[in-house]
Amino acid sequence: MGDPKNNGKTLWEMLTQRSKQTAAPVAFANPLDLRIGAGVLVSHVNGPEFDGYDFTVKEIREYVRRINNQEFGFTDYVLKGINSKTFDSADEVITHLRVVPNPQGTKDAVFLRLYDEFAFAEDFLGVLKDTTGVFEITDDKTGEQETYTRINDLKDSYEAILLIITATTEDGKAPLGTTQSAKLEYWDYWREMDIGGGKTARQFIFVEMNSDTGWFQIWRGTEFFL
């Protein structure tokens, strides 16, 4: 992106051009320089419930959004976790390791799990578009209500294009025919979560809506320590 040949093209047109190109493997944002199938260490500090799990990269997802004619991106590493004690497929977990560049020139990361997903619902979309910027959920385990607010008090949604990579070459590109593209609208929220000992941590909610199907996914997680 940023190629003069792309002047006048929409972000979506540029993405689909990349995903359909036939001359060479597709380059994409890969801040951790990982490959499909690579192992990822998830330490105890990122979630004791994952002790004994071995994680590998199942997919890589590049998100790009345009704000004030500038492009901003981040990358999700879709991780499959296998319980090394049981190796039972029923114990498998799918998580997203989201890596976002920050203004300091380094990276922030969030470890996300799918909280819920469902087909398009007009009333739920109304909740997301509520001008208060508040999102509330009831924790299934504790029954407690959790209140989140939009990150940086933003009220509008983000629109993003998504490049999904399912295979990689040795030099970290996507082989021909191994990418898919999608359009998303999403909303981001956070809260300060009490973790005991007088300490707090930020917990995040990302609500994504597929722009073509209306399918909603709610991802919840905390900061990830790389």
Asked if pLDDT for residue 190 goes beyond 50, the answer is yes
Between 18 and 190, where is the model more confident? 190
Whether the pLDDT of residue 1 is over 50: the answer is no
* Structural domain total, the chain: 1
Percentage of the chain exceeding pLDDT 90: 64
Please give the pLDDT value at position 210: 97
Q: Is the model's pLDDT at 88 over the cut of 90? A: no
CA distance 56 to 43: 14
Mean pLDDT of the chain: 88
Phi and psi dihedrals of 78, rounded to 5? -85, 115
CA-CA distance, 198 to 150, in Å (whole number)?
A: 24
Residue pair 162/181 in contact by the 8 Å Cβ criterion:
yes
Kindly list the distances between the CA atom of residue 36 and the CA atoms of 75, 80, 166, in Å, as whole numbers in the listed order: 14, 11, 7
**What is the pLDDT confidence band of residue 7, given thresholds at 50, 70 and 90?**
low
The answer to whether residue 2 scores a pLDDT higher than 60 is no
Q: How confident is the model at residue 68 (pLDDT cuts 50, 70, 90)?
A: confident
How many helices (H) and strands (E) in the chain?
2, 11
pLDDT at residue 199, rounded to an integer: 85
Q: Flag whether pLDDT at 174 surpasses 60.
A: yes
pLDDT average, residue stretch 161-181:
94
> Which one, of 31, 12, 117, lies nearest residue 77 by Cα?
31
Question: Could you give the percent of the chain with pLDDT greater than 70?
Answer: 90
pTM of the entire predicted model: 0.86
Calculate mean pLDDT across residues 68-94: 90
Tokens of 20: 């359909």
Residue 131: left (phi > 0), alpha (psi -120 to 50), or beta?
alpha
Answer yes or no: are the C-beta atoms of 151 and 190 closer than 8 Å. yes
Residue 13 above 90 pLDDT? no
User: Is residue 21's pLDDT more than 80?
Assistant: no
Output the six-digit token pair for 16: 């689909």
Q: What is the pLDDT of residues 100-141, one digit of tens each?
A: 988 888 999 999 999 999 999 999 999 999 999 999 998 777
What is the domain extent for residue 40? 4-223
Q: Does the pLDDT of residue 51 top 90, yes or no?
A: no
Task: Write the burial class of residue 140 (CB in 10 Å: 0-12 exposed, 13-18 middle, 19+ buried).
Answer: exposed
DSSP string covering 138-205: E-TTT--EEEEEEGGG--S-EEEEEEEE----TTS-BPTT-EEEEEEEEEEEEEEEEEETTEEEEEEE
Q: How far is CA 65 from the centre of its chain?
A: 13
pLDDT of residue 76: 98
